[in-house]
Amino acid sequence: MPSLPKTILTEEQYLELDRAAERKSEYYDGEIFAMTGAGMAHNQIAVNTTASLHTQLRGKQCQALSSDMRTRIGLTARYAYPDVTVVCGRPEVLERRKDIPTNPTVIIEVLSPSTAEFDRGFKFVAYTAIPSLQQYVLIASDRPLIEVFTRRPTVCLDRA
């Protein structure tokens, strides 16, 4: 039995559908992926992290954003809803969409057993395409583990 062809949507089609939808979805290279509901531990960690960062960043040039804020991943046709996003300096947004930041400094994902592999693999690689991103933080929801990945400055060696 032949499989059904994949439906490929444009960025604009995705954004229009996602704005009208009751549930959030992420968009990667023309395909939409529905986001599953998070468990109690996941939600508590995400809320506590957002609240703590909000308090720590008060009066500074950075702001913490919750998981309701979609972000564009680099210059590619990809959109995600990180659990927590920190934007430092003036938020840069898509010209045609004022509610989509494009310059996150920190992205935090709370890992659930069902999403850990995707967040550590595909999303990790995708997020490296964001030039402003300085840290990617993974917080386990099933054990006491936090992983922090920090972008190192590029070093050029002069071979003169």
Kindly state whether residue 128 falls inside one of the protein's structural domains: yes
Q: Quick check: is 15 in a domain? A: no
Q: What is the pLDDT of residues 111-145, one digit of tens each?
A: 988 889 999 999 999 999 899 999 999 999 999 99
With respect to residue 76, please indicate whether it lies within any of the assigned structural domains: yes
Per the domain annotation, does 159 fall within a domain? no
Supply the CATH number for residue 83's domain. Answer: 3.90.1570.10
Q: Answer yes or no: is 103 within a domain.
A: yes
The domain in which residue 64 lies consists of 38-150
* pLDDT at residue 160 tops 60: no
134-138 contacts: CB < 8 A, separation 24 or more? 134/105, 134/106, 135/105, 135/106, 135/107, 136/106, 136/107, 136/108, 136/109, 137/106, 137/107, 137/108, 137/109, 138/108, 138/109, 138/111
Amino acid 151: pLDDT: 93
Is residue 16 in a domain? Answer: no
Count structural domains, the chain.
1
- 17 lies in some domain: no
The reply to whether 4 falls in a domain is no
Among candidate residues 48, 74, 12, the one with its CA nearest the CA of residue 141: 48
Query: pLDDT by residue (tens digit) across 72-109?
Result: 887 777 899 999 999 999 988 877 667 788 899 999 99
